[in-house]
Structure 1
Amino acid sequence: MEEIQIPSYFICPISLEMMKDPVTISTGITYDRENIEKWIFSAKNNICPVTKQSLITSIELTPNVTLRRLIQSWCTINASHGIERFPTPKPPVSKPQIIKLLKEAKSPKMQMKSLKTLRSIASENDANKRCMESAGAMEFLASIINNNSSEVFEEEEGFMSTKDEALSILYQLKLSENGLKSLIMSGNGEFIESLTRVMQHGSYESRAYAVMLMKDMFEVSTPTPLLSLKQEFFTQVVQVLRDEISQKATKASLQVLVHACPFGRNRVKAAEAGAIRVLVDLLLDSSEKRVCELMLILLDQICQSAEGRAELLNHPGGLAIVSKKILRVSKVGSERAIKILHSISKFSSTPSVVQEMLSLGVVAKLCLVLQVDCGSKAKERAREILKFHAKAWRNSPCIPMNLLSSYPF
């Protein structure tokens, strides 16, 4: 079969594939809609790929109808060569359409039906999500979640409340940074309190959506709202961790707490919520690298408080599991695990704790750290721990002979 050459002006500059839905952006360059939407919304680029001009002021995607018809005509002419004519794409949703839908959704009788339509629109593409956000969908969905009363409807898959539906759509929107910031600052922490109630009383699915949305919000948050988090918030996030709803929910819960716990008062609240015990128990069975790193980072943060260190020492396997993760997870994991032991040695090292570290093999592991390549900071802390308790440990038979040469006498 004779090879057919596609005209160059039919080709998308990003993907080098034939355009099916050509759109022109503010710089005058035409791209395939799917590819330029991925570039702008998913990859979060704000420049034109060809001209490198900024798109911050305008990211309107104008359909290039003339070019689309030319491409479709070319496909029809070359049908004998196996070229299929693609159908005319469905026009994207417009802001007035979303505003009309939101207005209809304010009626209790129409609300669930309108929410399902919004979910369908959001699932089509990223451009629809941004259009929904600009039309006020975020504020409307948040108002439903903030409302203590919620209508419940029977669906094929079970019972579904309007609050559950609104929350899943709001998470699905993948809000812009400005949208996430406005959510976390709204109503003096009202929305965070609403998500806390969802984590306390909601279904497993809604609790997962709540903590995953909170993770997105905390990633762009300033310190101010994080400093005013209540004890109940930590209790519910730790409970989501304990229940192991899903791998995504577990990871999001860890990330939420990591963002919250650089602050002293929050470390104490996390310790009082039982975070240490849950983290140690999860570490016993966890093998996924990033999850283990997050757990060790969080343990390190909480153990910078006296309450956190006490909780770790009260757990029968606390010191053992932290020591076990050294040199077994990653460089980051080893550094955090050694930092935890450094905090314990420096501030909470009673004679019984010192003896426990020796009998559990912690001392031998620290000597091993001095012999391998695991980062200068980790080695420095390991050496300091060994020096802290040199009198108690230097002559112990628990230290293997081959590691005695590493002991910093």
Structure 2
Amino acid sequence: MSTAAMPSFPAGFRFGVSTSAYQIEGAADVDGRGPSIWDSFAHSPGRIVDGSSGDVACDHYHRYAEDIALMAELGVTAYRFSVAWPRVRPTGSGAVNPAGLDFYERLVDGLLEHGIHPVATLFHWDLPQPLEDDGGWLNRDTAHRFAEYADLVAERLGDRVKLWITLNEPFIHMSLGHGTGEHAPGRALLFDAFPVAHHQLLGHGLAVAALRARTAGPVAIANNYSPVRAAGDGPADLAAVAAYEALHNQLFTDPLFGRGYPTELGFDQSVVRDGDLDVIAAPIDVLGVNYYNPTGVRAPEEGSPLPFELVPLDGYPRTAFDWPVAPDGLRELLGWLHARYGADLPPVQITESGCAYDDEPDADGRVHDPDRIAYLDSHLRAVRAAIDDGVDVTGYFVWSLLDNWEWAEGFTKRFGLVHVDYPTGRRTPKSSYAWLREVIATARRDTGR
């Protein structure tokens, strides 16, 4: 962590925290919520490292007021949460569950009462299981069901949500959920998963239109990005970098700005119909950037089904996830977006950035996490440097407010500013929470807000 004072941020810059529904809400069978693909996946033996599920998670569904109070004390001006599609429309289509919408209305109103902007993500991977039974995102109809769901949520909350995010990390959902099978729904299609990419983006475009019809609030998408670094300097290594760059960073961004899909990967694009790319390229107001680490790539071995091989990057500190801590990658990434998309690039918000460490209370019940403080310090400085480089970055959301259920890793990875004792649900703010509270307070004093 730098000992220098944190540089100031522009007036209006938003400091926020992020979560997702399945990772914190719990209440899996409460008040009419239907099953999602993550319920099915987590209850399948051998899928989750510790055999756990999100059935209870952090019990945010019942403790949301306590969590809002934690945010208010922290001083954040925005909270990014996700709406659980199966809580609102249990089968993915058909009847609406009023109790589900009521919960999100209570949450949004509670945030506004504390001066916190609600930022709602409509899809954070928890597809209703009945839609998966009909083919999920491999089925074009799912894009239309998503737009209907977006319309329902916007009809209820469109006058109060301050930023709408259609999809969270469609690349990760495609690659881990449908490419390798490490995430729900557990399909292992490799490059045959391209229809999942296209139908997610089509759903995004259709949802943008639905949201525009219901609300004047700004609309975004949150993509996961990773600077790609070659593990060698031969032509085959550089070709592998180009292929992975196209897959991870361009596939879900080029179409947003009217550039179509990258051709380097040779995807079968027969699922793309006339007019689809125009729908996908509907203007957005913000690009959400989720950043955790760069990716090392080299040429694959002969006979590999993929045109690249992922390799560890040496020379960096590591998180508990064994991810390299590379704040320089965030500045590099923001510069790449600015250079590649130019005037087409809308304002950017860092919608996720954070780190997992093995944080546990000491004998006095306090949770010290100096590595997380160092991480956040360095990444906020990287954002400030990118702003100085000319990138219009208007917010930074820490992943995450709470320790939570971390997908296939279950309860084994802790990302939170607040420690959660999972058996009891007890919340204990960590030292990083106190550090960030002071950073936010100082930023407010600097800008007179």
| TM-score bin, normalised by smaller chain | under 0.3
The structure with more strand, counted as a fraction of residues = 2
Quick one: higher RCO (CA 8 Å, sep 6+), 1 or 2? 2
Structure with higher Rg: it is: 1
TM-score by length of 2: 0.24
TM-score by length of 1: 0.26
